[in-house]
Structure 1
Amino acid sequence: MASKLFYNDIIPLNRDKHRTLHIDSSKGDASFAEHTHYVPLAASEFYQASKDYPILFAGEGDSAGAIALLGLRENENLFVSDDKRWIKGTYVPAFVRRYPFILARNETQSDFTICFDQSYAGFSDDSGDALFDEEGKESSYLGGVIDFLNRYTRELEMTAGFVSWLQEHDLLATRTLRVSDRFGRNFFLNDFRVVDEEKLAKLEDNQLGELHKKGWLGLIYAHLISLGCITRLPEHLEPPEETVEDITIQ
C-alpha cells in the first residue's frame, strides 16, 4: 500500500540545518488530505475507527494492510469539510495525525530517519513550537512527535502480522461493494478485501484460540461491524451538477 499519499516534499530533519524551525499547527488545516479517499490504518485504531469508517483490506502479500475508506470516488475525502477541517466528532486516523512528520528507513533498512514534508504551511523560523532548543537538542514538542512516530510504527508492524495471519489462513475474500446515494448514483468499490465470515466460522478451536490470545478476534469483529459505515458514506455527498454514470474506484 502507498505509505506517503499526501506527502509532497519529504526531506530528513537535520538538527543543524533546521535548528530554528518551528511548527504552528494553527496555520495548517486538513487540506493536505482532501484528495485522499483512503488511509492506512493500524489495528490499534480499529475500535475507534469502526464507528466512522469502513475498515477494508487492500494489497497482496507483504504489501497488504488495513485501510480506512474515506470516500466513494478517487481523490475525494468526504471527511474534510468545506472549511478544510476534519469533520468534527469523527475519529482522525493516526496516519493523518502524524502529518507533516514521517519515519523513513535509511539506506541500509536497519534504522529510521525522522523526515518531514517541508511544503506544510505551518512551518516557519519564528512562530509556533520549536523543534530544537538553542543548543540544538530536541525540544519537548519534537520528543513527543518522535514518541508518537515510534509507537505508530510498532503498531503498523503488529498490524502487518495480523493481516499476514488472515492471508495465511485464507480468511480474506475479494468483494465488489456497491453503494447507492439518494441521487440515484451507484458507486462500486473494487479490489478491496473483507474477512470471509463463512471461513471464519469454520476455523479450528486452536486457531480461534490463537486469534483470541493475540487479541485479534476482536479486531475482526470491529472490521465486520465497520462495514455498516459504507452505507453512511453517501450522506456526505453533494448533489450532482449533472447526470453522471456509475462510479468505480479501486
Structure 2
Amino acid sequence: MTSQHAILTVEAHRDLRINSARDGALGDGQMCCITVPTEFRAVQSAYPILFRLNDARDRYTALAMFGFENGENLFLDAGTWDAGYRPLAMDVQPFLIGGGPDDDAAKQVHIDLASPRIAADGTGDRIFDETGQPTPYLERVAEQLGALDEGYRASADFFEALQRYDLLEPFTLEVTLDDGSTNRLVGFHIINEDRLASLDGAAFAELNADQHLLPIYMAIASLAHIGDLVARRNRQLARG
C-alpha cells in the first residue's frame, strides 16, 4: 500500500478518527518492528529482541519479534494484542514524525492518510475534540512519538559501542513445530555473552556510564521469549 503522509493539522483533520483495534488488516500483520534501547526494558517483558545489519548503510537496528515469517504476528488474537506492552513503533500507527531521524529541526506530527486505521464510518478515537483541541489520545501519541524519536537518535551511540567491543554475533534459529514443519529465523544478530563477560572492568564501567549496559542485559534476557513464540505458533497450529 502506498503511503500518503501529511502534516497533522486541526484545519485538515478535525473530524478524523482512528480505529484502534488490533488486526492484521489494520497494519499489525508484521513479524517484527523497530525498537530502541531506551524501550528495551519494556519490550523484553514479552518479545525477543534481535539485531539486524543494514548492509547498505552499515548500521544496525534492533527489532522486537512477533513471529517467524513475513506477515506473521503471533500476538494478534480476535481483535486484541495479547501482550501487556506494545512496542512504540506499532502503537503510534498511523502517526509518525516528519523529517529524518538525524534532522535537528523541530519535528511535527504527521499522519498516513492511506492507513487502514483511518476510520471511515465515524467510529474510533477522535484526534481533536469539538473545540479543535488535541484529545488525550493524540496527546499520548505525541508523547510516544517523542520518546521513539529520542530513543532512535540516542541509539547510534549504543550500536557504536556494540561494534567497538565486537559484542554482536550472527544468529540463526531453526525450530521444529508440533506438526513437523520447520520455522527459521535467519539474518539476525544477538549479543555475544561470552565476549561481554570477557570485557575488563574499564570497558564495563564505560558501558555503564554511557547507559548501554542495561539495554544490553535487557536484550539478552529477552531471548527467553523465543520459546514463547514457539508455543504461540504451536497453539495456533492446534486451533487450525
Question: Into which bin does the TM-score normalised by the smaller protein fall?
Answer: 0.7 to 0.9
Residue number among 12, 37, 49 corresponding to 1:18 in the alignment: 12
Q: Is the CA contact 2:18–2:126 (under 8 Å) kept in the aligned structure 1?
A: no
What is the letter of the counterpart of residue 111 of structure 2?
Answer: F
TM-score by length of 2: 0.82
Counterpart position of 2:237: 239
- Which residue number corresponds to residue 59 of structure 1? 53
Q: Separation in 1 of the partners of 2:4 and 2:112?
A: 4
* TM-score, L = length of structure 1: 0.79
> 8 Å contact 1:33–1:80 — kept in the other structure?
no
User: Structure 1 residues 91 and 138 mapped into 2: Cα distance closer, same or farther (>3 Å)?
Assistant: closer
* Corresponding residue number in structure 2 for 1:102: 96
**8 Å CA contact 1:21, 1:125 repeated in 2:** no
Instruction: State the AA in 2 paired with 1:10.
Output: Q
Alignment of 1:166 onto 2:159: no
Which residue, 203, 222, 228 being the options, matches 1:207? 203
- Report if aligned partners of 1:12, 1:115 keep a CA contact under 8 Å in 2: yes
Structure 2 residue 49 is matched with structure 1 residue 30: no
Unaligned runs of 5+ in 2: none
The 1:227/1:75 distance shift into structure 2, 3 A limit, reads same
Identity %: 26
**Using the alignment, how far apart are the partners of 1:143 and 1:229 within structure 2?**
32
Structure 2 distance, partners of 1:48, 1:178, is: 26
Q: Distance in 1 between matches of 2:166 and 2:80?
A: 39
Q: Which runs of 5+ in 1 are unaligned?
A: 1-6, 243-250
Structure 2 residue identity aligned to 1:146? A
The superposition leaves residues 79-112 of structure 1 with CA deviations (integer Å, 9 ceiling, x where unpaired) of 111x23211x432111111111001216x94443
Following the alignment from structure 1 to structure 2, what is the Cα–Cα distance between the partners of residues 177 and 233?
A: 12
Task: Identify the residue that residue 48 of structure 1 maps to in structure 2.
Answer: 42
Q: Which residue is 2:86 aligned to?
A: 92
Aligned position for 2:107: 112
Q: Which letter does structure 1 place at the counterpart of 2:165?
A: H
Question: 1:227 aligns to what SS in structure 2?
Answer: helix
Question: How many residues are treated as equivalent by the alignment?
Answer: 232
Q: What is the root-mean-square deviation in Å for CA atoms of aligned residues?
A: 3.0
